[in-house]
Structures are given as structure tokens and as C-alpha cells.
Chains A and B, each alone.
Chain A
Amino acid sequence: MSEYVIIGNGAAAAGCIEGIRSVDRKTPITVISKENRPAYCRPLISYYLEGKAVPERIGYREADFYQKNACNVLYGKSALSVDGEKKYVTLDSGETLPYTALCIAAGSSPIMLPIAGIEKVKKLFTFMTLDDATAIKEAVGKESRVLIIGAGLIGLKCAEGLCESVKSIAVCDLAARVLSSILDDECAALMQKKLEEHNASFMLGDTVEGFEENEALMRSGKKVGFDIVIMAAGVRPNTSAAKTAGAEVNRGIIVNDRMESTVRGIYAAGDCAEGMDISLGARRVLAILPNAYMQGYCAGVNMAGGEYVFDKGIPMNAIGFFGLHALSAGSYFTKEQGGEIYEERSEGKIRRLFTKDNRLCGFMFIGDTDKIGIYTSLIRDRVPLDTINFDLLKKSATFAAFSPEIRGKKFGGVV
């Protein structure tokens, strides 16, 4: 029987289902879901920790989503291996599932650093799933001292979610700044300050060398007491099933702009895939929800025999702490790499634009969100900057930077 199989049940899988159903309303879809629940909005787990979201209301789609889309979801199961030639998936339960087209949307897993003495830590958590968040919520109390390893997006959103409800939060990271993958020193320092105002302390350029039951010995020689440790030292794409099928895997599963892996009939999308970042001009894992959905949708259309190209993948991050927002997108090139930087600043605000070869390739804004999507679209659409009044856009986001003809196209008809 002809059938679609999706490994994974997050945003990329939901996109894949919607992509398939935009072409093919009938052929059954089987979804292999490791977690025992329908797709939910994963980034909301920090808001749940904070009490701003509840599990009952964080579904990614309506309750009848799978039923309406004729999907059979196998909850609590994982894919062990894939036979790309005979076209079937083997589950951890031993069952096999034949497919005509397969999408691997298996996401990523937290990296557990092999720190000496880690087995002595009684309350050790990761922060990736709703179950993780529930476990952390149950483990913390007003008197808890929390140690978070990793000052990236996951670690800091976890810190924000907890900081009002625990005694103290210490965050360490080997990098010299917070959010080191998306912000530069100065922007990172502003975000760090905001968290410090709310009960969090930081140990940067430092990491845990060894654990006792309730104490961490840092590389700097410092000793930090804790009740709870949260490991947020990055994630690793789940690529093991793809490897068994013989698909090419770098950090993630290599995909082209139709989301095809190197094995015919096997597609990949979301945090486990490594597709083109057009702002960088190279492939990279873009582990963000919008990208997961759009890649998934693209894979789905193509799996069902349609034609869809997703060639606008770039990093895009909106992160805020206590009302201070950092919005960034694209890639940053230094002067040595042929890049240029334009900067505007005022009290509590920083705007940085990064250009290269007559294109906007990235930006980093703190405290200014006005029409910022103009810049994102300049990156995604690879707009030559000499075709617009870029000098105006350096100062502020305005459509006056575009010709009346382009404005007419943007605002005068159906887009």
C-alpha cells in the first residue's frame, strides 16, 4: 500500500502533514511520535515554567488535526532504522512500516556533558520537552538554588522561566558572553544585565569541572552550591535513523532545497536537517520553529508529487527578557571577510546592520522592533541594496526606501 511516513511529531512534522495534504487528500500518513502527546508549541515550555502558558493550551494545532488530515499517530514510539532501498522503517517496538515517501523530522536532543561526578547530582534535568518542564516545575521550590549549564537560548529562557520562583539562579557558559551564537558582546551584555536585574547571576568563560551532590567545582576554582542542575549545553540533531538508511549526514541530515536527503524517497526537515542558509551561502542546521515548519511543508508537497522549493532559509531569532527584546537574523561577516557594519544607537537601543556584496546579510537589534521585518525580507529576498534607498533604512525602517512602483506592488494588490 502506498503510504507516507513521518519520523517525528513537532512543527516540521505538522508542516509536512499540511504540505502533503495540500496535494494529496487521501493517502494515509503515519506519524511516529516519541513523545506521548500531539504536536505542541515547543518554545512555550519556558512560558509554562513561568506560569504564562498551560499544557492544555499549547497544542500546535487544533485537537482534530490528525483526524482531519487522515494521520495515524504512533505515540511513544521511535524509529530505530530505515531501509532506504526496500523502503521501510523499523520501530523500537520491532514493527516495520513500509513507505513510499519518508520525512525525517526527528528534531534534536540535549547534549549531556560528561562531567566528572555527574552521577552524584540527584536533581539533574534537561530542558527540551514539556515533560522536562513539568519535572523541573515539580522539583523547584522557593528555596531552590538552580545551576544552569549553558547560556544559549534554551538555558536563558529556562532561567527567565524560573527566576521569579526560586532562591537563586547561576548560569555558566564556556563562551565569554550569553547568547553567543546570535549576539555580539555588547548586545549580549544588555540582555545579560536584564536577567541579572531579575535574580540571575552569570559565570562566563567558565564551566563545571566536577560535581559533588550539591556543589559544583568550576574551572575557575570557584565552588557553587546548588539544589538543581539544568543541562542546557546545546543540542545534537537526531540523525541516527537517517544514517542507517545511508543518507549523507554532516551535523544534520544534508538536504537540498526540495528537502530531499541524498537517499531517494527520504526527506528531512527541522532541527535534524542541514539545509542552505542563504545569508551565509552554506548549509547549516537552522534549529528554529519557523524554519522547521517551512521545511516540513516543502518536504510534504514534494513527497506528495508536487513541486515546492524552499530556498529562503536563514537564522531568525526573537528573544526577549522582561520586556527587552533582541531581534536578529541572518549572518554576520567581519571586515576581513568583506563585510560592512552600520550602527545606530540611542538610550537602551542598538541597531546593527551587516552587509556584504551589495546585500543585507544580517542584523541585530535591541530594544527596537519597528517594521523590522523589512530587513528580514531584504535578506530573504537577496535584494540588491543599490536598487533601494538603503541610507534611509540605516536610520529607521521605512517603506520610503522603496520606489513608488515597488511600494505599489507590495501594498496595491493581493500578495
Chain B
Amino acid sequence: MKRVYVNEKWCLGCHLCEYNCAFANSGKIDMALALKDKPIYPRIHIDGDEKVPFAISCRHCTDPICVKSCISGALKSKDGVITVDKERCVGCLTCILVCPYGALTEGNDGVATKCELCIENSCESPACAAGCPNGAIVYEER
């Protein structure tokens, strides 16, 4: 299955992926309207330091501990893609506690937020990869 991978050699740490992600999942059609002067809740995050920055997001593990640990049945694996049912999530943050990849965060609505490979929004493929200016983020099979 295709997943998002980041080649840290090429990552500039420009944070554009964070904005593209937040916009893609905002449900808005205008980027400025969606993001300007607002706190953003992207599902991909720049980690590392100035010398070696790199973006991290959900690995869509084959043996996902977040799904096994979810107390509300909100996290599910559908054909390998790990998704959050926002209606069911109660925001206990157990998934954040257990994810070894630091891939989940608390969203603006207090519920768990994570990369769903842009499957639930209107993008055709992950917006982070599509908009990466240096080709560091790719969406491919490995």
C-alpha cells in the first residue's frame, strides 16, 4: 500500500506541508480564509533542528498500537489506512500516549487528529507530498 515517506536529506523544514495539510483538511476552498491568523492543526509536523529538519506523520503501521489501545473504538484500520471516527473519539489521548511515532495530536475540537492520507477529504492524493517544493515528501509503495 502507498504511504507518505519523507527523505530528510531533501527536507528544507519550510513547514509548507503543515499548511497544505491543514488547508486540505479544513473543508474550505480558499487557503487564506482557512488558515490566515488562525491556529492550524496539521497532521504532519516538522521535527528535528535547523540543520536536519524532517517532517513526521502517521506510518499507518501494520500492527497499529493506537487502534489496539483506543478506548472508544474511534481508531480503525480500513484496508491498512488508520482513521479516526471523530464522532466516537472522546479525546482521552491514549493514542497520543502510545504512538511511537508521535503522529497523533489533539485537534481544535479536542479529539485525536492524524494523517488519513487525504482519503476523507477532496484531495486526490496527500496534499503534503503534492505540495512539497523540494520533492522530500513522497507518496509511494515501499
Contacts and interface: CB of A to CB of B under 8 A. Distances in A.
A294 B68 contact: yes
Contacts of A318: 92-94, 96-97
Contacts of A325: 93
B90 A52 contact: yes
B96 A372 contact: yes
B95 to A, nearest CB: 8
Nearest to A46: B90
A319 B106 CA distance: 14
A319 B92 CA distance: 6
Given A41-B73, A290-B94, A397 B102 contact: yes
A318 B98 CA distance: 10
Contacts of A44: 71-72, 90
- Which of B8, B94, B99 gathers the greatest number of chain A CB atoms within 10 Å? B94
Interface in A288-307: 289-290, 293-294, 297
Interface stretch (A58-66, A168-176, A224-232): A58-66
Given A400-B52, A415-B61, A376 B92 contact: no
Given A53-B90, A413-B142, A415-B62, A373 B68 contact: no
A320 B5 contact: no
Interface stretch (A141-149, A236-244, A404-412): A404-412
A325 B98 CA distance: 15
Nearest to B61: A415
B48 A61 contact: no
Given A53-B90, A373-B99, A415-B62, A407 B73 contact: no
A376 B90 contact: no
B54 interface: yes
A306 to B, nearest CB: 14
B51 to A, nearest CB: 9
Contacts of A370: 102, 105
A398 B47 contact: yes
B98 A373 contact: yes
B142 A372 contact: no
B56 interface: yes
B133 interface: no
Query: Chain A: interface residue count, which band?
Result: 35 or more
A8 B59 CA distance: 33
B73 A376 contact: no
Contacts of A58: 72-73
B71 A43 contact: yes
Nearest to A408: B8
B69 A290 contact: yes
Interface string A385-415: 0000000000001111000100100111111
Contacts of A372: 96-97, 102
Interface string B131-142: 000000000001
A323 B93 CA distance: 11
A389 B31 CA distance: 38
Looking at B52, B71, B72, B96, which has the most chain A CB atoms within 10 Å of its CB? Answer: B71
Contacts of A407: 8, 54
Given A407-B8, A411-B54, A373 B47 contact: no
B28 interface: no
A68 interface: no
A47, A327, A413, A414 interface centre (most CB from chain B within 10 Å)? A414
A31 to B, nearest CB: 18
A120 to B, nearest CB: 36
A58 B87 CA distance: 11
Interface of A: 15, 41, 43-44, 47, 52-53, 57-61, 289-290, 293-294, 297, 316-320, 323, 325, 327, 329, 369-374, 376-377, 397-400, 404, 407, 410-415
Query: Which 9 interchain pairs have the tightest Cβ spacing?
Result: A371-B102, A290-B69, A377-B100, A373-B99, A43-B71, A318-B94, A318-B93, A318-B97, A400-B48
25 contacts: A15-B68, A57-B87, A57-B88, A58-B73, A290-B69, A293-B68, A316-B98, A318-B93, A318-B94, A318-B96, A320-B91, A323-B110, A325-B93, A369-B105, A371-B102, A373-B98, A376-B98, A398-B48, A398-B49, A399-B47, A400-B48, A410-B100, A411-B101, A414-B3, A415-B62
